[in-house]
Amino acid sequence: MAAGRRAVLRGAAVVAPALLASAAVPAAGDPLPMRQPAPGLHVHMGVHEESTPANAGLIANIGFIVGRDAVAVIDTGGSAEAGRRLRAAVRAVTDRPIRYVINTHVHPDHVFGNAAFVADRPAFVGHRALPAALAQRAPHYREALRRTFGDAMAEASAAVPPTLLVEDSLDLDLGDRRLTLRAHATAHTDNDLTVFDHAGGTLWASDLLFAQRIPAVDGSVTGWLAVLDELAALPARRVVPGHGPVSEDWPGALADQRRYLTVLADEVRAVIRAGGTLERAVETVGRGEAGRWVLFDDYHRRNVTAAFVELEWE
């Protein structure tokens, strides 16, 4: 499918002046350690922590795919430093041009390393709803970056909006290596994008799949369950989750998360049907999932809140 048919190419004029300043920040840190689960597929595994200066916001899986002619980066980490170290990892492997930087969704741990790639003049690729989400959330996220990393790193970690939007799906060709990008309906967020690498049958699901780390519902619990069914139908041989280890158990790798989201939806619905309040749901729903997920206590109650205010409209 031609890129022009379903994608909107937008000018790069939106790049903020602050980025020019960020280019002058000295490179910090070594190339990220990468794994190569398949030829040309490079993944850095995020840690199951909140972002801190010590982890530089490297809490999500990020990486790149190398084709004959070019490189596509998939997500850039939670800070300019994370982005610079990812870029150094690309350059440790290949000097081919970085033609695409794909952002799988708006969350800070996936987009705030973008600034490190501006000088490469790639197309920044995102879901059709990413610009609006980024515009609304950037000020909020900037404050969080300041609190976490301090003013200098927050300033360097500028939000770089997408220049190439995926309306529905879009194929990118890196030279004998075709990637199919899909823009999904509201699930983890309202701007989730997945990447299918045909060469090795790898689905880069990003945060549509959490393994080990508790999923965070920032979109729609029912929408997410529906998208999981769509993903399960893809002929993947391997999946790269947004958090947690790469798996070759497909679609078995979806099972834990599907169970969690199903329990969440079912138990919230039961509270609503019984006339229960949000407070009651937060106290009672999903307790059987405690102990099965890293960071459960940090996110679960918030997930219940999100599910409740969604499902009470059913």
Partner 1 sequence: MNRRSILMAPLIVPLVTLAAPAVRAAGESGDGARWAEIRRELFGDRPIEPAGDRLVLEAPGRAEDAAVVPVSFTATAPRRSPDGVRSVHLIIDNNPAPLAAVFRFPPDGADPAVATRIRINEYTPLRAVAETADGRLIMAERFVKASGGCSAPAGKDQVAALARLGRMRLNGADAAAPGRPATLQVLISHPNNSGLQFDQISRTYVPPHYLTTIAIAHAGRPLLAVDADISLSEDPSIHFTFVPDGPGPLTVRAEDTKGGVFDGAWPVAGAPGG
For partner 1, the binding residues (CB under 8 A) are 129, 131-140, 143, 159, 161, 186, 189-190, 218-220, 223, 272, 275, 277-279, 282, 301-302, 304-306, 309-310, 312-313
- Coil/strand/helix, residue 185: coil
Nearer to partner 1, 163 or 247 (CB): 163
Q: How far is the CB of 92 from partner 1 (least distance, A)?
A: 34
Tokens 């989750």 locate to 241
Closest C-alpha among 63, 43, 59 to residue 51: 59
Tell me the pairing of strands 202-210 and 238-243: parallel
Cβ-based nearer residue to partner 1, 234 or 278: 278
- Our CB check for partner 1 shows the closer of 156 and 159 to be 159
The minimum distance between CB 59 and partner 1, in angstroms, equals: 20
Nearest approach, Cβ of 14 to partner 1 (angstroms)? 8
Q: How many CB atoms lie within 10 A of CB 9?
A: 11
* Phi, psi values for residue 309, rounded to 5°: -70, -20
What 8-state DSSP symbol labels residue 115? Answer: G
**Could you tell me the smallest distance in angstroms from the CB atom of residue 45 to partner 1?**
27
Among residues 4 and 139, whose Cβ is nearest to partner 1? 139
- Alpha-carbon span 247 to 45, nearest angstrom: 12
Q: Nearer Cβ to partner 1, position 75 or 218?
A: 218
CB of 63 to partner 1, least distance (A): 27
Q: To the nearest whole angstrom, how small is the minimum distance from the Cβ of residue 190 to partner 1?
A: 5
Contact 56, 2 (CB under 8 A): no
Q: Which is nearer to partner 1, 138 or 228 (CB)?
A: 138
Q: Rounded to whole angstroms, how far apart are CA atoms 207 and 295?
A: 15
Vertex 61, ends 38 and 143: CA angle to 5°?
160
